[in-house]
Amino acid sequence: MTVQGRFLGVVRDELAAASDQARQALAGADPTAAFYRANMRRLDATADTTALTTQVMTSVPVYLRRGDVVTNISVRSGATAAATPTNYWFALYSNAATPALLGQSADQLTAAWGATTTKTLPLAAPVTITSEGVYWVGIMVKAGTTPSLAGVSTNASAGLVAGEKNLAQTSGTGLTGTAPATIASPTAAATVPLVILT
């Protein structure tokens, strides 16, 4: 038995609404309703962040349990809309030491993403989680101006003690319509977007 219940890792890696029904309810979801996971509580997403750089993937960790079925990824834009987008997608990566691509949404190409708009994209096929752990959600937008995202800005995104994960990170360059096969050589980012999995 541990003081943090079923979570057996570094206690500061226990990520927001994923841990139990009470935290899910605090995040704004009905804990008795359909599957819902997030990387932070909705009330904590108080900043209008510049989390994205065109053609670079931003990824955030989300704690998932065995048996979870991830069908959709949702991200909310802030006050800045995407201007002249040419590619954008969301993706789910594994809990491996070098996270591997598990699923990607369709490339949204030039579809509009307005300001203060929740964008929900289905994965090409639902992903069933086979082992508990920290998974990664990737967001990539190629645009003249990338949208700002609801989230939080912090100077402590990188792990502060051994074993902690980045709260947000960037990887890849020159990305377009297809998510990379792995998250390779990530760099900690100071802005953490809110992501929701359903």
Give a yes or no: residue 5 inside a domain.
no
What is the C-alpha separation between 110 and 87, in angstroms, rounded? 6
Q: Which residue range is the domain that position 136 belongs to? A: 11-197
Give a yes or no: residue 102 inside a domain.
yes
Residue-level pLDDT at 161 = 84
What is the C-alpha separation between 192 and 46, in angstroms, rounded? 11
Q: How many folded domains does the chain comprise?
A: 1
Residue-level pLDDT at 17 = 40
Checking DSSP bridges between strand 101-104 and strand 149-153, what pairing results, if any? unpaired
∠ CA 40-20-71, nearest 5°, is 65
Per-residue pLDDT 10s for the chain (198 aa) are 445 555 555 544 445 444 444 445 545 555 555 788 999 988 888 889 998 999 999 999 999 999 999 999 999 999 999 999 999 999 999 999 999 999 999 999 999 999 999 999 999 999 999 999 999 999 999 999 999 999 999 887 787 888 889 999 999 999 999 999 999 999 999 999 999 999
Give a yes or no: residue 115 inside a domain.
yes
Residue-level pLDDT at 128 = 97
Give a yes or no: residue 2 inside a domain.
no
Give a yes or no: residue 1 inside a domain.
no
Give a yes or no: residue 187 inside a domain.
yes
CATH number at 153 reads 2.60.120
Give a yes or no: residue 31 inside a domain.
yes
Residue-level pLDDT at 146 = 98
Q: Which residues pair with 121 in a beta bridge?
A: 73
Query: 0.95 exceeded by the pTM?
Result: no
Give a yes or no: residue 6 inside a domain.
no
Q: For residue 27, give the nearest of 57, 1, 63, 2 by alpha carbon.
A: 63
